Chain A
Amino acid sequence: MPLSEWVGAQLPALVILVPLTAAPVAFLGVRLGRPVALVSALMSQPLAIALALEVAREGVLRYEIGGWGAPLGIDFVVDGLAATMILVTSVIGLLITVYASGYFTDQDRYRFFWPLWLFLWASLHALFLSGDAFNLYVCLELVSMSAVALVALTARREALVAAMRYMLAAILGSLFYLLGVALLYAAFGSLDMATLRGAIRPDVTGQAAFALMTVGLLLKTALFPLHFWLPPAHANAPSPVSAALSALVVKGSFYILIRLWIDVGSPSVAPGTAHLLGVLGSVAIVWGSIQALRQERLKMLVAYSTVAQIGYLFLLFPLVRAGGVAAADAWTGGVFHAVSHALAKSAMFLAAGTVLARLGHDRIEGVGGLSRRAPLTAMAFGLAGVTMMGLPPSGGFVAKWQMISASVLSGEWWWAVVIVAGGLLAAGYVFRVIGRFLGREEAGDREADTGRSPRTMEWTALALALGALVLGVAGQPLLDLIPIGAPALVAGIGVTP
């Protein structure tokens, strides 16, 4: 078999194996981490792109690990959603890797960043590909454990405590999920998502299973009011880690939630849940934004912005219930929001990291006039802010367009009100920072500036922000990819009137 054909057939395995192999190699030597991570990151790009193209061309892919096949073996399933998430993870992963290679100059101290980061990367890819509820649990644990270790990397006190808090929440979340998995197996006799899809019916054990898994995943996704661990963890981690956590890791558990509720089951398994999740999401949008407005540290502001932006994702649950075009719009819009937010939020954290590297602090009142000294970084933050506000041209706008469409079409216009209000609140905290950047320097600000921000750091943040912007104009290919193999509920029967 020619190599290209072999690679083509093994794509789902390869996107996991490349970072998974790189991780232990990066562990072996202090000087090995950076080059190995860069090679792995570069190799992941063609694989992820090829996988997305394959799904776009052929439709849903099924990959049987070792050729065993479900129910005995474990299957990988690659639909439009999975391919999208892997593509986004790969692109953001590459840029974070490049940024980190400029950021972690003390190679001895931060040597464990590289293997942990590659491990996290591999686990995320595995999570997006898993088609089995227990396998998802294992992936979720792998993601959490590497993420916790990355948060603790600086070994500063607040980072350690934040990591501990994160870890306790993450383990508890996993246990809830695992307990749910046990009941799911008891109720339906299988954990393969495809098999479960036909077997789900509303009964008490099944509902209990869904409830427990959902609580666990909400804790991990940090939906209000279970978000308490997120701001300290995301704000105190080294900035490349913060970017990965906010952009990708929280999306991992959210991904399982939508698989669970919209793909495997449907919101009708437990009536009222969809509404509850929508309401919690709405509160998260408002509350997270208000908290962001009140923060004194840039990275805390960005972290609370994540709490708020996660809220939008949860509007997906009530919005898909109507079925038809509304559900299809909500589905692509929700996933598109996850993607745009991932790009923009990683850009924001990386920009904040550059501020921190230059000034040695990230107090918002101390960043006056930074746009003069670090224009690329200020620009990256500002452009990323456009997506946070959901204004055109940005991926956030396209996502909100679809979500508002869905809420108008389904007659539940109050979600549209929340979405619009959330955008205005986001403008509040984004412009609070932008205004400082464009404003005057306070006495001593310039002296405090070490000027230490390698071009690679500034440009990677800007590239991510521009990516979020480009999605707002040229996002159609992605909008076409997301619905491939979408669950029946959101497959979009009928056309827009």
Chain B
Amino acid sequence: MSWHTLALLVAACTPFLTAVAVFLLGEHRGTLRTATGLAGAAATAAAAVACAGSALISAPGEYAEVGFGLLEIGFVLRSDPLGVVFAVVAGCLWLVTTVYATGYMSRSSDRARFFGFFSICVGSAIGLALSANLLTFFVFYETLTLATYPLVVHSGTPAALKGGRTYLNYALPAGAALAVGVIWLHMIAGPVEFVAGGSLPSSLVQTHAGSLTAIFALLMLGLGVKAALFPLHGWLPAAMVAPAPVSALLHAVAVVKAGVFGIARVVLEVYGPLGRDLGLIPLLAAVAAFTIIFGSVRALAQDDFKKRLAYSTVSQLSYIVLGVAIGGPLAAAAAIAHLAHHAAMKITMFFTAGAVAEEVKVYRISELDGLGRRMPLTMGAFSLAAIGIVGVPPIAGFATKWLLGMGSIEAGQAWVVAVLGLSSVLNAAYFFPIIGRAWFRGPKSEWASEHGTKRVEGDLRMVAPLVLTALVGLAMGVLAGAALSPASWAQMVAFLEFGG
């Protein structure tokens, strides 16, 4: 076994093995359990990076593969350049989140269950990132759906259970739609591999145009729920009842990006040019553009801190979908880069929301006044990420918007620039007030009277990760032009997808 396949196996299997170990260690062997979790996350992150290295030095079409037979299609993992982007993002942020969660959950109960299912979620996200075909992708996709449920309802309160039910009401029918689409596609096209530039033979357009359109709709319905495309986004704000690490890693990165990543795979690597031939792509672009604006407008109206972030996520995810749907290498590069950019920035913001909730028991934006003086590092990291999402250079969000704008002009779809402009204004409108309250107003909430305005950050295990991710977001923007930055990598992937 070469190191290529070993890295692949380690990246995909370690989270699941970690989960088993964590479950077996149980509630009471906390130190050993934490050590196991950290070791598993570290190994996974390293293996994911190794997969990226493997993808980098392998010739296109000769990426490392490992798998076995199932249903004449095969259960196959592969490190290809698109997949490793998501795998590295999920793997590395898992490590960071594990540290954060150790701090956040230190007084919580049911930690073995929490960390166990958390590992399964991450494993599923990495597994679906590295899936070589649609069947394997679907298996991991649904595993992710199911493993997220215990995390959403973690606290066991009626509100949490209600949030969990809402989540299932969206996720399970979506899974069913996806299943039907996937099976149907296999019936008319045989085993569906992911191949840069699309894997469906163009001859199918003549014979199966109607079926292909229906299947595309089913796939988008199934993937669109996780990607929180309007009108399938309703579960995401409801799922904010989950503990902060879940909101941070799963509902800003792993779960939601599984949806957009799936859309990217289907549009770029399954349908390819067929999507355009069938006239499906403009509709997807329109839905994504609408969702960008819609999410931002809804975010404006939220006072609940995590819900505002959730609606911001709804909006930001559609940048990725839009980039994929515009077509052309630059827009696709923007989409793929934003997968990483948004992950770093939004996870920082959710970490902040969790840290604030833990430290001063503040859950509403209207209670954030003056918090910058109390928790300067935390709020500083938040502000950096927020400015980044708005698209102020040189932070990561700017790189995305720049690429996306250029790409849309290149593809002759200049209307997208208007959407970007409007969205940026809205982003600023819902994030700047938070920054303003935190830094430029005096404290007036209860926490101030209880604790005073003394400068006290939260638990170091929570502060360090959020500062780190904020800096990573900054670095992704500043170093966007450097080799191996997400933006450069994304352009390489897009080059492969569109053949230059």
Contacts and interface: CB of A to CB of B under 8 A. Distances in A.
- Does chain A bind chain B? yes
B82 to A, nearest CB: 22
Contacts of A473: 70, 75, 139
B475 interface: no
Nearest to A400: B179
A438 B150 CA distance: 7
Interface in B163-179: 164-165, 168, 172-173, 175-176, 179
B175 A416 contact: no
Contacts of A427: 168, 172
B161 interface: yes
Contacts, number: 94
Contacts of A420: 176, 179-180
Listed residue (A398, A424, A475) with the most chain B CB atoms within 10 angstroms of its CB: A424
B197 to A, nearest CB: 23
Contact of A391 (B23, B142, B173, B187): B142
B61 to A, nearest CB: 24
A439 B160 CA distance: 9
Interface string A79-103: 0000000000000000000000000
A369 interface: yes
Q: How large is the interface on B (under 10, 10 to 19, 20 to 34, 35 or more residues)?
A: 35 or more
B146 A438 contact: no
A435 B183 contact: no
A328 B384 CA distance: 59
Listed residue (A372, A435, A440, A476) with the most chain B CB atoms within 10 angstroms of its CB: A435
B110 interface: yes
A404 B112 CA distance: 38
Interface in A416-475: 416, 420, 423-424, 427, 431, 434-435, 438-440, 472-475
B187 A409 contact: yes
A404 B180 contact: yes
Nearest to A475: B70
Interface string A463-497: 00000000011111001000000000000000011
A36 B179 CA distance: 46
B143 interface: yes
A73 to B, nearest CB: 40
Interface string A376-419: 00010000001001011100011011101100110000001000
Nearest to A435: B161
A207 interface: no
A391 B183 contact: no
Contacts of A375: 23, 26, 112-113
A165 B183 CA distance: 42
B153 A439 contact: yes
Contacts of A392: 138-139, 142-143
B483 interface: no
Given A438-B150, A438-B156, A479 B71 contact: yes
B139 A472 contact: yes
Nearest to A469: B143
A408 B176 contact: no
B450 interface: no
Contacts of B143: 392-393
Interface residues of A, number: 38
Listed residue (B158, B172, B188) with the most chain A CB atoms within 10 angstroms of its CB: B172
A371 interface: yes
B433 interface: no
Nearest to B139: A392
Contacts of A440: 156-158
A379 B146 CA distance: 12
B165 to A, nearest CB: 7
A367 to B, nearest CB: 12
A420 B109 CA distance: 37
B408 to A, nearest CB: 37
Given A371-B113, A375-B23, A497-B190, A423 B68 contact: no
A380 to B, nearest CB: 12
A427 B139 CA distance: 17
Listed residue (B145, B161, B168, B179) with the most chain A CB atoms within 10 angstroms of its CB: B179
A401 B183 contact: yes
Interface in B393-444: none
B184 A408 contact: yes
A394 to B, nearest CB: 9
Interface string B168-209: 100011011001100110111010000000000000000000
Interface in A216-245: none
B149 interface: yes
Interface string B1-32: 00000000000000000000001001000000
Contacts of B142: 391-393, 397
Interface string A240-257: 000000000000000000
Nearest to A385: B146
B490 to A, nearest CB: 29
Given A408-B187, A420-B179, A420-B180, A439 B69 contact: no
Contacts of A369: 156
A84 to B, nearest CB: 17
Nearest to A379: B23
B156 A439 contact: yes
Contacts of A479: 71
A474 B156 contact: no
Contacts of A474: 68, 70
Nearest to A431: B168
Given A392-B139, A475-B70, A405 B187 contact: yes
B79 to A, nearest CB: 20
A439 B161 contact: yes
Nearest to B151: A438
Interface of A: 369, 371-372, 375, 379, 386, 389, 391-393, 397-398, 400-402, 404-405, 408-409, 416, 420, 423-424, 427, 431, 434-435, 438-440, 472-476, 479, 496-497
Given A439-B153, A476-B69, 7 more contacts: A372-B109, A375-B26, A408-B184, A424-B176, A438-B164, A439-B156, A440-B158
20 contacts: A372-B109, A372-B110, A375-B23, A375-B26, A375-B113, A386-B146, A392-B138, A397-B139, A398-B71, A404-B179, A405-B183, A424-B176, A431-B149, A431-B168, A474-B70, A475-B70, A476-B69, A476-B70, A479-B71, A496-B190
